[in-house]
Amino acid sequence: MTALAAELPAEAPSPGAEALLTVEGLTKSYGSQIGCRDVCFDIWPGEVMGIVGESGSGKTTLLRCLSGHLSADSGTAVFDGEDGPVDVLSMPEPARRRLMRTEWALVHQNPRDGLRLGVSAGANVGERLMAVGWRHYGRIRETAGSWLDRVEIDPERIDDRPTTFSGGMQQRLQIARNLVSAPRLVFMDEPTGGLDVSVQARLLDLMRSLVRDLGLSVVVVTHDLAVARLLADRLMVMRRGEVVESGLTDQVLDDPQHNYTQLLVSAALRL
């Protein structure tokens, strides 16, 4: 496992570098219904940004546009990729798919959407390594095993299918599958969504240490302000498809400026 750590780029977030992703004027409507309107933000290396808002506020639409599951009506999203800057909203489909398998990762709310249920846990993790060109079976298996351990799944379970795992284990497996190829930007859609509280706590703790150790940049969509407080460096609050407020996480939650954010914070059970 220590050998693995050496393989991964453990670079510390470097302040003052370029933004990793710059989104400008992103707009998507469903007929007359607004999905999201004129959304602008930057993500910097090593930064975790939370997107919060109620159901229907446009969080998921935004994430789906960025991850290529929906096509945006207008706007740009320039990613500072290894081969130079690219606009992910207008890049050719094969290149976008390659990006999603290499420098980007998407963790779905429901692990069943992000995992292949018909193959073993080890194959789920190994698949992304093969997509980035790994061919040596022994090394792939060894790396998959050490990642299972890292996300607190018994490596003995490497040949079991994810359908035999609990919900919390499936979510951790999905995270391992996504992070094994050392992506630079990770999108997470309600990653602690359907999990009970103790399992959530474990997952949050795990995600925090992975983000720190790997220097990941993360965009995490959540409706849970407590999750946002624990995970995110800064927050973007959305309502009816628009960003109404953004800033440092604790500042937005403790001294909310916008009418809607004040409502959201006062409606939360406990922060």
Partner 1 sequence: MIEVKNCSKVFTLHLQGGIRLPVLNNVNFSIIKGEAVALTGPSGVGKSTLLRMIYGNYLAEQGSITVDGVEVVGAEPRTILALRRATLGYVSQFLRVVPRVATVDVVAEPLITLGTPPDQARDLAKALLSRLRVPPQLWSLPPATFSGGEQQRINIARGLIHPYPALLVDEPTASLDAENRQVVIDLLCEAKARGAAILGIFHDAAARGAVCDRDVDVGAFVPDADGEAAQSAPVSA
Q: Which is nearer to partner 1, 105 or 207 (CB)?
A: 207
From candidates 233, 240, 242, 268, binder to partner 1 by CB under 8 A: 233
d(CA 69, CA 243): 21
Q: Tokens for 118, please give them.
A: 């018909």
Q: Which stretch binds partner 1 (CB under 8 A): 65-73, 99-107, 186-194, 204-212?
A: 204-212
Find the helix packing angle between 121-131 and 137-150, rounded to 10°: 120
Beta-sheet strand order (sheet of 104-107): 104-107, 185-189, 217-221, 48-52, 234-239, 242-248
Q: How far is CA 169 from CA 151, 165, 192, 210, 226, in A?
A: 9, 6, 12, 16, 22
Distance CA 132, CA 155 (A): 23
Kindly state whether residue 24 participates in binding partner 1, applying the rule CB under 8 A. Answer: no
Give the shortest CB-141-to-partner 1 separation in angstroms.
28
For residue 209, the minimal CB distance to partner 1 (Å) is 9
Selected binder of partner 1 within 22, 36, 47, 191 (CB under 8 A): 47
Is residue 12 near partner 1 by the rule CB under 8 A? yes
Taking residue 97's Cβ as centre, other Cβ atoms within 10 Å add up to: 13
Answer for which of 234, 237, 241, 244 binds partner 1 (CB under 8 A) is 234
Residues forming contacts to partner 1 in the complex (CB under 8 A) are 12, 15, 44, 47, 201-202, 204-205, 208, 212, 230, 233-234, 247-251, 254-255, 257-259, 262-263, 266
